[in-house]
Amino acid sequence: MAHSHDMPTDLTRNQELVLGTLTASSGPLSAYDILDRLRTEGLRAPLQVYRALEKLVDRGLAHRLESLNAFVACADAHCHRKGLIAFAICEGCGKVDEFADAVIESRLGAWAHAEGFKVERTTMEIRGRCAQCLKAA
Amino acid sequence: MAHSHDMPTDLTRNQELVLGTLTASSGPLSAYDILDRLRTEGLRAPLQVYRALEKLVDRGLAHRLESLNAFVACADAHCHRKGLIAFAICEGCGKVDEFADAVIESRLGAWAHAEGFKVERTTMEIRGRCAQCLKAA
DNA sequence: AAATGATATGTTATGTTATTACGCTTGCGG
DNA sequence: CCGCAAGCGTAATAACATAACATATCATTT
Ligand SMILES: [Zn+2]
Ligand SMILES: [Zn+2]
Ligand SMILES: [Zn+2]
Ligand SMILES: [Zn+2]
C-alpha cells in the first residue's frame, strides 16, 4: 500500500519545503510556525511561506483551518480534491481528522439550490476532544 | 410580529454599543470596524470591543465568522442558542444568511459518536454568491 | 542567441487581527 | 466596612497576512 503522502514531483523548492514541514508535523501549523522551522533552510519572510501555502491549498495538497488560522497537509490526497471536506480538530492533542460526508454535502446543495445561492467554497470544522484524549482524561 | 433584534435589557454599556453596531450593519464587521464606528461613543481600544464580543457570542447574540475574522448579530435570536448553525456568506454583497439543518447536525453527531469524538463547537460557513448578486451580474 | 512572457523568488515595509498585563471602579453579599 | 467578582480603561505587544517592488528562472518565439 502506497503512503498517502507521496510528494508530487513538480513542486518548487519552497512548496516542497512547506509541504514537507506540514507532513512531518503531528498537528496544524501556522504560517509563522512553518517559517520558523524553515529558517535553517534559508527562508526568511512570511510571504515565502504564504505563497507556497497558496499553491498547495489550491492543489488540495494542504488545507487551511479557518478556525485556527493554521494549515495541515492533506491526509487523504486521492479523494478530496473536490467536494466538501470536514475537519475534526482535537483541542487536547491537536490531531486533525479529515472526512467527507455525501449526505451533508447534498443537504447543503439542496439548501443552496432552494435559495439560489451559488456555493464556491465550504468550511466545516468541528472542535472538541478525540477519543484518545477523552480516555486519557 | 416582533422584531428579531429586540435588545436584551441586561447588557453593559459596551456590550450594548457593540451589539447595536452589529445590528445596524448590513454585513459582518471586524472588531476594528466596530471600534472605528464607536470612537464617537468614547471607545478607544480593541479590547473594549473584544470583551463585549466575547460575552455577546457566549450568549448567542452575535456570531463569529471564522472564515472572515468578523462578527455578525444573530439574525434569529429565538432558535439557535444551541445546536449547529450554518452561515452562507455572499462574496458579492456581504450578506450573511444563517440557517440550521437537523439532518446535517445528526450526520455530524453520528460521525462523532462512531469516532468517540466529543464535539464542543462546530463551524460551518459557505462562501459564494447570493441569488440577488447572481441576478445582478 | 536575443527578446518575450509567465511563474517563482527575495526583501522590506506595512496592515490587520487578537491578546497580555496591569490597575481602577462598581456592585453585592458577608 | 470588607472581600470578591465582573466590568472597564489603557498601553504594549503578539500573531496573522498582504502590498509593493526588484530580481531570477525557464520555456517559447523570433
Ligand atoms: Zn484533504
Ligand atoms: Zn486528542
Ligand atoms: Zn444566530
Ligand atoms: Zn450577494
Task: Tell me the pLDDT of chain A averaged across its residues.
Answer: 92
- Check residue B137 and give its pLDDT: 78
**Which residue, B47, B72, B78, B59, is CA-closest to B11?**
B59
- Check residue A128 and give its pLDDT: 97
Which residue intervals of chain A bear CATH 1.10.10.10?
A: 13-73
Q: Is the pLDDT of residue A101 over 70?
A: yes
Confidence class for position A81, pLDDT limits 50, 70, 90? low
Question: Which top CATH class is B13-73?
Answer: mainly alpha
Q: Given an 8 Å threshold on Cβ–Cβ distance, is A131 in contact with B120?
A: no
Is A126:A88 a contact under the CB 8 Å cutoff? yes
Confidence class for position A80, pLDDT limits 50, 70, 90? low
Residues of chain B with pLDDT under 70: 1-5, 77-82
Q: How far is CA B79 from CA A47, B36, B46, B84, in A?
A: 43, 31, 30, 11
- Check residue B47 and give its pLDDT: 97
What is the separation of C-alpha B40 from the centre of its chain, rounded to a whole number of angstroms? Answer: 24
Which residues, in sequence order, are CB contacts of A56 under 8 Å at separation 6+?
Answer: A15, A18, A19, A22, A62
Is A102:A44 a contact under the CB 8 Å cutoff? no
- CATH of A85-136, picked from 3.40.50.2300, 3.30.1490.190, 3.50.50.60, 3.40.640.10, is 3.30.1490.190
**Which residue, A91, A38, A96, is CA-closest to A72?**
A96
In chain B, positions 51-70, which contact chain A (CB-CB < 8 Å)?
Answer: 66-67
- Check residue B40 and give its pLDDT: 96
For A131, which of B90, B116, B128 is closest by C-beta distance? B116
Kindly give the pairing relationship between strand A86-90 and strand A118-129.
parallel
Ligand nearest to the CA of B74: 3
- Grid coordinates 495538497 are at which residue? A61
Q: Given an 8 Å threshold on Cβ–Cβ distance, is B101 in contact with A120?
A: no
C-alpha cell recorded at residue B87: 452561515
In chain A, positions 95-134, which contact chain B (CB-CB < 8 Å)?
Answer: 97, 99, 101, 103-104, 107-108, 111-112, 115-131, 134
Which residue intervals of chain A bear CATH 3.30.1490.190?
A: 85-136
- Check residue A76 and give its pLDDT: 81
